[in-house]
Amino acid sequence: MIKPDRVVSTTCPYCGVGCNLMLHIKDDHIFKVTSPFDAPVNHGNLCVKGRFGYDYVYHPKRVTVPLVRRYLLEGKPKPKGREQVFAVSKDGQPVEHSKISNLWDWVETDWDTALDLVVDNLARIYKRDGSDAMAVYCCAKATNEDNYLLQKMFRAVFRTNNVDHCTRLCHAGSVVALQQAVGSSAMSNTAGQVIQNDVFIVTGSNTSENHPIIALQMKEAVQKHGAKMIVVDPRRIDLVDMAELWLPLKPGTNVPVFSAMAHVIVKENLVNHEFIANRTEGYGEFVESLEKFTPEYAEELSGVPADDIRKAARMYAGAKNGAIYWGMGISQLSHGTASALALIHLAFLTGHVGREGTGLNPLRGQNNVQGASDMGSMPFHYPGYMRVDNEENAAKWEKAWNIETGGLSRKLGLTTTEILSHAHEGGIRALYIMGENPMMSEPNLNETRKHMQQLEFLVSQDIFINESGAFADVFLPATPFSEKDGTFSNTDRRVQRVRAAHPPRGQARPDWKIICDLAKRLESKLGLVSAYWDYSHPEEVLREMGSVNSDYAGITYKRIDKVGLIYPVPDMNHPGTPTLFTESFPRGRGKFHTLDYVPVREEVDDEYPFILTTGRLLEHWHGGTMTRNSSLNEAYPEARVEIHPADAEIHGIRNGDPVKVQSRRGEIVVRATVTEKTTIGVVFLPWHFAEAAANLLTNDALDPQAKIPEFKACAVQIFPARKRDLAHPEVVLDRGRY
């Protein structure tokens, strides 16, 4: 048995659950991961990613030296045309970048050269085109401190609010809805409180695969505590086997189903009149708007039997403690905001919010998407969700960052999707990407590719060259979670420590150090007064942010050393706030909104008869940059499209057959899995696989309020693949070639 040199406590770098990890280190190498039974989030449990998905840290293809394009070093103009990462020989093997001689080649260099090239080009574009030409993608995988500093740099140096990250692509609909209805966008309760529920709704969330430890707690609530679970999902997900009721709705029909439940609650007088009178507004107009949302009307649109809608409404309304947990099946629609509002209305009608064991609980997808949002990595908000177009808010951050009065921009910035669509002459010219991968996560990737090619200068700060890094002019090698210090904020709002387990590989540097070095060089180049970048440790960064953002005011590394704290933590003596809205909502009264049913932007027809919905797998995560460079890739090495047996029989498709999946925007070839896990007329595709990217197919229609794309519903055709469909192009941007 190997005996570790040391065991380092840290937080998992994958989903938003925020499990505690104990990294067992021998000779500066992680050889085992465990978790203590007293860990407050996961109680010793870990999923396959948390327990085994760490070896990407040591993958030979990880980049640990700064890289620049040869043309930059030679002072030549940037070549036009498609990107190239590595050349590929006739036998399909990658040729090392040092052996290629064309202008697009990567060349290893030192940090000073790489950073100076970044500074020279960013400063040149900023001086020529101004703030509107600059944009940055922060990162939900990076720490709070990393994200705070990167948004600070772009706001303080380039005076732009073109700052966003992947929350725009996952829960933006939930965020906007919660802000409109209650004035706060985070989970109102903790996931662990599910064992206090007697009825709870799970919708738009394949929890067993996306948040496995929370799914364990849900199962415990049912098996050991007698809770009744209602699952609302177009797929027969794992939790259906334990559910009291399953509502298999047609993708994109959330609003009629949940509004019909509200209709039943009102018509049968199951409402909590005291809660509505004391804590909400807009009820009368809302009730009038419900008249058309009868269960029969909802059945016609969604396929869910009207009697099951009535049963679900009565169960939830009759509960002592009812709660709602939802995922991106609610938010990733062109009406994602309305879908989330329809859920919020159910909680208002019944008073199932503001108490333990109740609540409105969007399950956040990435390890630090909550924290990145808290840190101001969004185009409309400074840290703490302080609007950038509010004079008082801007003045606070000008003072904190040593910026002249009126120096910060009051102009709302562009969102993630808007940044790339504005990549053209007269628009966005320079983009800085930290850890994100828009060439996997954006919808309609053929259009995204065109936008990426229009950028004049692109910087990638990451650990691998992924599909987006392939377009970069400069690559800055950062460190993964095991080589840095900082904090993550999980889906419960729990702020927890991240600790370096061993030194960085090669010349890689922690993100926060890269940003500070770059910011100082930029200020010098542009002749700006320093906004302060001489931090000695990430804790200083968190304290600076908390000096203005009161939610984090009482959080220090010492106070969160063991188990973390759940914000708001307004002072150094505050114990944290597991349950929000106990007495009031941040906006005062909770607001009902009238809703209409708006169909998905692209409905099925004779040419494209299937609805495609997309999602994640247990073995993989996000764009695959980490898991597909780990041993987890062996467990699930290729994309599979799920199709119902009845549909497969009609189209002559057998289990394991290669099939072509085609939409109006693109096509891919994958193998089919024939399964009753999906429903008739609906096919499912995971989106982690670059060589069969689901987002080549998806629709880039946006929710007009949240600006989130409609990932969860588009029309496709599926049929057996022909020989020519299986031919490989000469150069394939697949992760195996990096």
Backbone angles phi, psi at 58, to 5 degrees: -110, 10
pLDDT above 80 (res 96): no
What is the reported pLDDT for 103? 43
The 10 Å CB-count burial string (b at 16+, else e) for 417-430 is bbbbbbbeeebbbb
What's the pTM? 0.94
pLDDT confidence of residue 372: 94
pLDDT tens digits, 584-630: 999 999 999 999 999 999 999 999 999 999 999 989 988 888 999 99
Tell me the pLDDT tens digit for each residue of 346-395. 999 999 999 999 999 999 888 899 999 999 999 999 999 999 999 999 99
Instruction: Over range 678-697, report the average pLDDT.
Output: 94
CA 136 to chain centroid: 16
- Inter-residue contact 197 to 359 (CB < 8 Å): no
Sorted by sequence, the CB contacts under 8 Å of residue 295 that are 6+ apart come out as: 260, 263, 264, 306, 307, 309, 310
The label of the residue with tokens 């919808």 reads 443
Instruction: Answer whether 613's CB lies under 8 Å from 661's CB.
Output: no
Task: Classify domain 104-166+368-566 by CATH number.
Answer: 3.40.50.740
Please tell me the predicted confidence (pLDDT) of residue 732: 32
Angstrom distance (rounded) from CA 442 to CA 330: 18
pLDDT at 359: 96
Q: What is the mean pLDDT of residues 495-504?
A: 97
In this structure, which CATH number among 3.40.50.10860, 3.90.1150.10, 3.40.440.10, 3.40.228.10 belongs to the domain 172-363?
A: 3.40.228.10
Please return the burial class of 656, using the count of CB atoms within 10 Å of its CB with bins 0-12, 13-18 and 19+: exposed
pLDDT reading at 658 higher than 50: yes
Describe the crossing of helices 172-181 and 336-350 by its angle, rounded to 10 degrees.
Answer: 40
Q: Can the peptide bond before residue 443 be classed as cis, meaning omega within 30 degrees of 0?
A: no
Considering only CA atoms, give the Rg of the chain: 25
Joined together, the tokens standing for residue 103 give 């202008």
SS3 of residue 514 by DSSP: helix
pLDDT-based confidence at 738, cuts 50/70/90?
very low
* H or E segment to which residue 511 belongs: helix 511-526
Q: What are phi and psi of 365, to 5 degrees?
A: -80, -45
Residue 130 φ/ψ region, left for φ over 0, alpha for ψ in the -120 to 50 degree band, beta for the rest: left
| Confidence (pLDDT) at 149 | 98
Predicted local distance difference test score (pLDDT) of residue 725 = 66
The residue ranges of every structural domain in the chain are 104-166+368-566, 172-363, 610-737
% of the chain with per-residue pLDDT over 90: 87
Residues in the chain: 738
The CA distance from 139 to 106, in Å, is 24
Q: Which alpha helices (H) appear in 591-650, and where do they start and end?
A: 632-635, 645-650
CATH number listed for the domain at residues 610-737: 2.40.40.20
| DSSP for 536-552, written as a single string | SSHHHHHHHHHTT-GGG
Which pLDDT band, with edges at 50, 70 and 90, does 730 fall under? very low
Q: Which two tokens stand for residue 4?
A: 């570790």
What mean pLDDT do residues 513-518 have? 98
Reported confidence tier of residue 76, pLDDT bands at 50, 70, 90: confident
Q: For 299-337, what is each residue's pLDDT tens digit?
A: 999 999 999 999 999 999 999 999 999 998 999 999 999
* 475 pLDDT more than 60: yes
Going by the DSSP 8-state scheme, the letter that residue 392 receives in this structure is H
- If you write DSSP's letter for every residue of 436-479 in order, what string do you get? --HHHHSSSHHHHHHHHHH-SEEEEEESS--TTGGG-SEEEEB-
Task: Please name the residue that has the structure tokens 């040729």.
Answer: 95
- DSSP state, residue 57: G
| Dist. CA 563–CA 20, nearest whole Å | 9
DSSP single-letter state for residue 77: P
The pLDDT of residue 578 is above 70: yes
Does residue 569 have a pLDDT over 50? Answer: yes
How does residue 541 score in pLDDT terms, banded at 50, 70 and 90? very high
CB burial readout 361-386, b (16+ within 10 A) else e? bbbbbbbbbbbbbbbbbbbbbbbbbb
Percent of the chain with pLDDT over 70: 94
Question: Quick one: pLDDT at residue 88?
Answer: 33
Between CA 105 and CA 113, with CA 110 as vertex, the angle to 5 degrees is 80
Q: In this structure, is the dihedral angle defined by the CA atoms of residues 276, 277, 281 and 283, taken in order, positive or negative?
A: positive
Which comes out higher in pLDDT, residue 681 or 737?
Answer: 681
Residue 724 has pLDDT above 70, yes or no: no
What distance in Å separates the CA atoms of residue 178 and residue 436, rounded to the nearest whole number? 25
As a whole number, the mean pLDDT across the chain is: 92
Q: Is the pLDDT of residue 87 over 50?
A: no
Supply the pLDDT for residue 217.
Answer: 97
**Structure-token match 């209305």, residue found:** 345
Bridge-based pairing of strands 658-662 and 667-674 is: antiparallel
Q: What is the mean pLDDT of residues 194-218?
A: 96
Distances (CA, A) of 542 to 387, 495, 526: 20, 11, 26
User: Residue 6: which H helix or E strand, with range?
Assistant: strand 6-11
Question: Which residues 6+ apart lie within 8 Å of 128 measured at CB?
Answer: none
For the cut 80, the answer to whether the pLDDT of residue 83 exceeds it is: no
Local confidence band at 53 (pLDDT 50, 70, 90 cut-offs): very high
pLDDT of amino acid 84: 44
Q: How far is CA 277 from the centre of its chain?
A: 36
pLDDT at 529: 87
